[in-house]
Structure 1
Amino acid sequence: MTVATLEVPPASPRVTGIRSVTVIGSGVIGTSVALAVRRSGAEVALIDADADAVAEAERMGAGVRFTPDTPPADVVVIATPPSSVARVLREAQERGLGAVYTDVASTKGVIVAEAARAGCDLTTYVPGHPMAGRELSGPAAARADMFAGRPWVLCPGPGTPWEAVRPVVELAEACRATVRLLPSRRHDRIVAAVSHTPHLVSAALAARFAEAEETVLSLAGKGLRDTTRIAAGLPELWCDILEQNAEPVAVVLDEVVRDLTAAAAALRSGGTDVLKDLLVRGNRGRHRVVDAFPAAESAF
């Protein structure tokens, strides 16, 4: 059975076929995956170049440190920055760390192309992206319920066998996420609009206050805090993400810039209709966002 005919089964509260998982990367996402999978009953091995991060994840109950005696896992989760995923995947496959491999990076197209060029086995690799996260970093910011009720996108290739996809579906369901299947390029266009461009817009607004006087900041209200919250993300990680999805983000950013440029011109010329049009469309868009996930509090 190939992904072209795949129907994702209903979510299960427990891992149904996964007994062991290896997570490479003990940051906020990797540790959150490990915590969720451990809660479902699977064994988890942790790998990270930062020994302190692994030790902290261990103390939190996310799993145990990977050793040379650790047997191959049912699923290997690569939770490293996007630019390193293809390299880590190749090395993990060469070491035979598991039967099936996936990742949690928020870009997909470039990674898949890099993995192909690197000679990775794409028949055992199911690209993934849990659509949840926090502006905080490190294992201490991880939560076992981070993915509950959130979409978890999988982007298997057209020839990926069901036997490879199924364990990754079960992994996402063990994290209480809802699996969605998308082609990698379509995924990248969507996240450019719903995640990557919002981060840049938030950063651009927050940057206005980088050198602000205390008097100015003392008058700031909840609206400013809300709209600049995600700007707190790690700049190095976000540069990596944005470079990996550069063109789709640039397309959406151009659209935002056109609206803001028109609004600035309207303010100078008294173009009330232009401002009202933007505000009305903003109202409509906000309502649609809220209707899509009314109880959501997390950022992508």
Structure 2
Amino acid sequence: MRSVAVVGTGLIGTSIALALRGRGIVPHLLDADPEAARLAAGLGAGVVGAPRVPVDLAVLAVPPQHIATVLREQQLRGLAQDFTDVSSVKVRPQREAAELGCDLARFVGGHPMAGRERSGPLAARGDLFHDRPWVLTPAEGTGERAVERARSLAELCGARPVVMETARHDRAVALVSHAPHLVASLLAARLLNGEESHLELAGQGLRDATRIAAGDAGLWTDILSSNAAAVAEVLTEVALELNAAVAALRDLAVAPPAHGPTGRAHLNDVLARGVRGRALIQGRTDLSLSGAAAVP
């Protein structure tokens, strides 16, 4: 792969462009906001503007709700021979692209599992994807050339390509990214009701638990809306367990000592299962997106 265009010069698009520059490829940078593209170019991410001839691969670094329309637009203008994206949702954009009549033989879904709480080109890093999973979700009719170019993109950025089916991808990110983000946001929102003297006691544990809640609210509304069913399924299970934990705590608050062991046993079970669940991802590349707040 010798030539690339990046459509969308936010955190992820600019980070991809910087990584490619480090491998000798000078990307063409396009953005609905010309100033964002110029800022990315000023960081050394590439050159502003469309190429004179189609590039090998165009990377669509835009939010999920815009993937299909941008893909259609850029295919019609002949921007690239093949296309991929970096959206954290796969089923809905691919369905919408098919409905718009996009050429899906030249498109393979992609999702680099990396990000930061900060957004925009100034937050970009050329090493953002180093040793991170980069999910590829080719459809049944996706051409082999498109898949190989998307795989090459991931490897050039230092990532580890992982092929998954679209629906399986969306269920996975609902569990490891989307639902955790919403839970972190709900927890962080409770701090709005805290007294100043209470907030002064906040330590690293609370900061760790709410770190990803710092992400862009508009972007995350789009992400959660685009993967609503899968996220709702995860949160339904969380809500059931949370309600049971609340009931155990209320019983402990009012029950006589003879009834206490039942509530204590339930809480201990919840905490012990949390320890075991956390251990499952210890030592692995962080599939929680490590600051996914800025991932499209």
Does structure 1 retain, via aligned residues, the 8 Å contact 2:104–2:141?
no
**2:165 corresponding residue in structure 1:** 183
CA distance in 2, matches of 1:37, 1:122: 25
Between 1:222-231 and 1:290-299, the stretch displaced more is 290-299
What does residue 277 of structure 2 align with?
285
Match of 1:112 in 2: 94
Q: Deviation at 1:161?
A: 2.3
SS of the residue corresponding to residue 191 of structure 2 reads coil
Q: Corresponding residue for 2:3?
A: 20
Aligned match of 1:59: 42
What residue in structure 2 maps to residue 38 of structure 1? 21
Structure 1 contact 79–105 (Cα < 8 Å) conserved: yes
Paired letter, 2:144: W
Q: Within 5 Å, which residues of 2 pair with 1:61-210?
A: 61-67=44-50, 70-210=52-192
CA distance, structure 2, for counterparts of residue 70 and residue 78 of structure 1: 18
TM-score normalised by the chain length of structure 2: 0.92
Question: In the alignment, is the contact (CA less than 8 A) between 2:113 and 2:289 conserved in 1?
Answer: no
Unpaired segments ≥5 residues, structure 2 = 253-262
SS at match of 2:281: helix
Q: Say what the alpha-carbon RMSD is for the aligned residues.
A: 1.5
Q: CA deviation at 1:211?
A: 4.1
Shift of 1:188: 0.2
Secondary structure of 2:84's partner? strand
Residue 294 (structure 1) shift: 7.5
Structure 1 residue 296: deviation in Å?
9.3
- TM-aligned CA deviation for residue 293 of structure 1: 3.0
List alignment gaps of at least 5 residues for structure 1: 1-17
Identity %: 52
| Partner residue in 2 for 1:14 | none
Q: Tell me the CA shift for residue 38 of structure 1.
A: 1.1
Structure-2 change in CA distance of 1:185 and 1:201 (3 Å): same
Q: Which moved more, 1:53-62 or 1:200-209?
A: 53-62
Does the 8 A contact of 2:177 with 2:287 survive in 1? no
Structure 1, residues 76-120: CA drift from partner, whole Å, max 9, x if none? 000011100000000000000001100000000001100000000
Tell me if the contact between 2:181 and 2:213 (Cα under 8 Å) persists in the aligned partners.
yes
Q: How far, CA to CA, are the matches of 2:172 and 2:275 in structure 1? A: 20
Aligned residue identity for 1:189: R
